[in-house]
Each structure stands twice: as structure tokens, then as C-alpha cells.
Amino acid sequence: MPMKQDWDKVSAYPEHGVTDKLKAKVAAGEMQADPLQAAMAQRFDVLLHAIQAQRPARKSSALGWLFAARKPEKSAVPRGLYIHGGVGRGKTMLMDLFFSLVPIKRKRRAHFHEFMADVHDRIHQHRQKLKNGETKQADPVPPVAEALIAEARLLCFDEFSVTDIADAMILSRLFSELFARGCILVATSNVEPDNLYKDGLNRGLFLPFVDLLKKHVDIVALDSGTDYRLEKDEGLPVFRHPLGAEADQAMDRAWTRETAGNEVKPATIGFRGREIAVPAAAGRAARFAFADLCEKPLGAADYLAVLKRYDTIFVDHIPFLGPDRRNETKRFINLVDTIYDHGARLFASAAAAPESLLVAKKGTEGFEFDRTVSRLIEIRSVEYAENHRRNAVEL
């Protein structure tokens, strides 16, 4: 338990800030007191206060409004935050508390892969306009950055992770434009910036982004040594292992239950001029083999397209993963990230329990698979299933 002084500094930070919200959660018994989380909450409150102080003065007089309007916004852009640490330490929870309290309308909270899929779509649309003679701007990055900053000056990214070479090659140019326009970046990650895109193809072209990041955000570690997600594991039978007849039968029974009353048939999802095959679908449930999703050239954007149509995903026959299945492992990590970020249900059969699926931890996949394990554990918890049920009712 933290000493009393861990909470006595609240008055130095914005009233009803992240520190207050965290203290209320602890008092209500929703979570344990953690001194490192308390310190991180105060870091968020410093940024919250800086953003509040940056808001234009109210129009108390014509002259006051004139001076406030002439003050250059970018001269006082607060430094953002990049929080890294192990899985289940509370990074996302704290960022979400912060995001809910920021008093500006132009803000966006997204999974990093989802944001980058949006960026690539916008670049594609701009190039189509150039091809059709609708614009003379050959470089798509500045206008895309201008559109993004017009929608959101504060960007909050959950699970900042770079695995795609297309993302890696554009990040430095994109964020140079965004930061120049006053962007404030907050991100959580399992790895420190120097380890982003580790062992990636042409990594030297990506490294300027790391230097740019360090100029505009404070890098802070949050590693309490406790994975709070592990405490939620209730062992619900939604992740069957090992593979075999018993696991197959359990998956079939779960599929019958989840699709009751709906016709089951194959489907396709049109996406970027091609089709994603869904072997079996009924209502909001879709069923795939591991090979359908992870042995084909699919990425996070494809998985997002699937999740927009289906919120219950079945994946049969997940094998052991490792260096001999590096591409499949990367896709599986992206798939689990996407399912988790959208609060979708996952039913799966696998060669082993989540913590034993990766046979050798090497390179970026080794760092990231710890997060995958934690998310697979949380996905099978009672709390996660209840949140999914509530969201489905709201829809």
C-alpha cells in the first residue's frame, strides 16, 4: 500500500484530475493502490493542466479577444507523453482517464493500427484526386496531416507498436507535419521508443521518427511488476487446448450456441478492391481457421474490416508459433490486438495455453507476444464477457 503522501499532492494538480479519479477507484475497491500508477497519474495531471492553460482566453472584451487570437497556438504546445512498460500495468486505464478529462473537442483516442489504416486510406484518396485532376498537390502527406489536425489536436494511441514497413516509412514525415501544426501526442506501448520496429526491414529509414518523438514527448516508464489483468482470469471455456477431437467438439458446441436461430453460410467482405473470405457466418458471428486469417497476406486494416461486421470471432486450430512462423505470428498479434481493442468476443482452439503458444521469444514478436498473452487471458474473463454483452445490448 502506498504511503499517505502518494495522494496528498492532489492540490498541486487540476481539481478532479486523473489523480482524483484514480484515488476514487482505489477507495471504491475497484483496483489496488499502486504508487507507480499514482505517480503516473500526476504526470497526466501536469499535461492536463498545460492543455487547460493553453485554451484561448474568454472574450471578456474586444481588445482582450484580439490579443488572445493573435497569440500563436504552436508557441505553447505542451509536450506529450509516451508511457512504456509491461502488459497489464495500467497504462491504458490511466490514459483513458486522462482522455475523458481533457476539455477540448478536437481529440481522438484510437488503437495505433486503426489510426494508421485511416492514414493510408486518406493517402489513397488523395492520390485518386490527383489522378482525376481534382488537386495539384502531388505530395499527399501535408494535406492529410492538415485534415487530421483539423479533426484532432490531441492524439491518444493505445499500444503504440510498429510492425508494418508501410507505417514505418511514413511516420517521420507524417508526424513532422502533425507536430508542426500543434499536435499533442500521448501513447502507451510495451516497448521504449529505441526498440520500436526492432529488426524491421530498412529500420534506418524509420529511426528519424524516434528522434522526432523524443523532441515532442516525455518518455516515461511504468512497470509496477504486477500484471493486473492476470487477476481477472476466470478460466472461461472460450480458449480450448490442446488441439484434438475434444477441442473441436467444444468449439462446435460453442458455435451452435452463439449462432442459434441464424442461418450459417459463407460470406465475403469487400475491402479496398478485393474480398476477404469468411468461411462461415451467422448474424454477428464469424468462424475462421487460423490459416484463413494468419497464413494469408492480411493486416490490421483487414481485421478491422472484419470486426466492423462481426463482433464474435471463432478461430480454429491455432498452432505453436515461433521463428519458423514469423509472419503468421505477427498477424496473430495484430488480430488479437484488433479483437481486444474493439471489445469483440473470441472463441479459439489452440495447440497450447496462451502463455505456451510462442515457442521462442526473438525480436519484436517476443516483446509483443507478452501483450498478446495478457489480452487472451483478459478476453476469457467474466468482466470482459460482461462488457461485451452490455455493448451488444446498446447496439
Q: In the listed set 221, 244, 262, which residue is the last one of a domain according to the structure?
A: 221
User: What is the pLDDT, as a whole number, of residue 369?
Assistant: 87
User: What is the pLDDT, as a whole number, of residue 273?
Assistant: 81
Q: Is 314:287 a contact under the CB 8 Å cutoff?
A: yes
In a shared domain, residues 171 and 238? no
In a shared domain, residues 328 and 217? no
Q: Is 199:365 a contact under the CB 8 Å cutoff?
A: no
User: What is the pLDDT, as a whole number, of residue 74?
Assistant: 44
Neighbours of 382 (CB within 10 A): 12
In a shared domain, residues 138 and 56? yes
Whole-number Å distance between alpha carbons of 270 and 282: 17
In the numeric block, the cell 521508443 is attached to 193
Q: What is the CATH number of the domain that holds 76?
A: 3.40.50.300
Residue 378's Cα: distance from chain center in Å? 15
Number of separate domains in the chain: 2
Grid cell for residue 106: 478536437
**332 Cβ neighbours under 8 A, 6+ residues apart:** 290, 294, 318, 321, 372
| Residue-number span of the structural domain to which 119 is assigned | 4-221
In a shared domain, residues 68 and 111? yes
* 265-271 and 274-282 beta bridge pairing: antiparallel
**71 burial level (CB within 10 Å; 0-12, 13-18, 19+):** exposed
In a shared domain, residues 292 and 347? yes
In a shared domain, residues 257 and 350? yes
Q: In the listed set 204, 221, 238, which residue is the last one of a domain according to the structure?
A: 221
User: What is the pLDDT, as a whole number, of residue 76?
Assistant: 75
Q: Is 38:6 a contact under the CB 8 Å cutoff?
A: yes
Whole-number Å distance between alpha carbons of 111 and 340: 10
User: What is the pLDDT, as a whole number, of residue 58?
Assistant: 44
Cα atoms in the 13 Å half-sphere on the side-chain side of 143? 14
Q: Is 251:318 a contact under the CB 8 Å cutoff?
A: no
In a shared domain, residues 183 and 243? no
**254 Cβ neighbours under 8 A, 6+ residues apart:** 237, 238, 314, 347
**Terminal Cα distance for the chain, rounded:** 40
Q: Is 206:162 a contact under the CB 8 Å cutoff?
A: yes
Query: For the residues of 111-137, what is the DSSP string, one character each?
Result: EHHHHHHHHHHHHHHHHHHHHTTS---
In a shared domain, residues 214 and 236? no
In a shared domain, residues 18 and 121? yes
Residue ranges in the chain modelled with pLDDT below 70: 1-15, 55-75, 224-237, 362-366, 390-395
In a shared domain, residues 242 and 383? yes
In a shared domain, residues 241 and 170? no
Q: In the listed set 221, 243, 274, which residue is the last one of a domain according to the structure?
A: 221
Torsion sign (Cα): 82, 221, 34, 32: positive
User: What is the pLDDT, as a whole number, of residue 363?
Assistant: 62
Q: What is the CATH number of the domain that holds 322?
A: 3.40.50
Which residues share a beta bridge with 199? none
User: What is the pLDDT, as a whole number, of residue 371?
Assistant: 84
**390 Cβ neighbours under 8 A, 6+ residues apart:** none
In a shared domain, residues 26 and 174? yes
